[in-house]
Structure 1
């Protein structure tokens, strides 16, 4: 079983002039980091602070 707590996600995009399309990325952050960001502001990924995937816990299912 997987358990997902409340999660906060930041989607970023930047236009790639050479390829004529947007480069995109999604980061999962704490509520505190999420609340500090505003649309249009610069977001800097910090290793050890941010997550590359949705945080979750995994437990073996009880057979009862």
Structure 2
């Protein structure tokens, strides 16, 4: 059974527009020209990217505090 979903490449990684089932076999086809992304979907991508960045900052800050506490 075949199902089509779209995605974009960000920093060399394919980001699908919807979640894929674990273990799914995929075929990657490069489309001619850039895909038109609706503004509301682009806004959602941007929000997820910002949230991920903030979460990573919090984890790195917490890890730094753990290291500081361990050295005391």
What's the TM-score bracket when you normalise by the shorter of the two chains?
under 0.3
Query: RCO greater where, 1 or 2, for CA within 8 Å and sep 6 or more?
Result: 1
Q: Name the structure where helix makes up a greater proportion of residues.
A: 2
Q: Name the structure where strand makes up a greater proportion of residues.
A: 1
Specify the structure having the higher radius of gyration (Cα).
Answer: 2
Give the structure-2-normalised TM-score: 0.21
Give the structure-1-normalised TM-score: 0.23
